[in-house]
Amino acid sequence: PHIAGPSEPTRRAMADCAADNLIAALTGVTPPNLLNPEVKRKK
């Protein structure tokens, strides 16, 4: 069912996305793929 997951471009995109979110969170910036922005606003 998940045949697209193991491809090299997909894995690279997932790693890039995770790195971008981590860097943003560690530097105090809102992560670009934040799913619940209302939670961040409460802090």
pLDDT the model gives residue 16: 96
Q: In a structure prediction context, what are the per-residue pLDDT tens digits for the chain, which is 43 residues long?
A: 567 667 888 889 999 999 999 999 899 998 888 888 887 776 5
Note whether residue 1 is domain-resident.
no
Note whether residue 24 is domain-resident.
yes
User: How many domains does the chain fold into?
Assistant: 1
pLDDT the model gives residue 22: 94
**DSSP string over 3-43:** TTTTSHHHHHHHHHHHHHHHHHHHTTPPPTT-S-HHHHHH-
pLDDT the model gives residue 10: 83
Note whether residue 2 is domain-resident.
no
Name the residue range of residue 31's domain: 8-42
**0.75 cut: is pTM over it?**
no
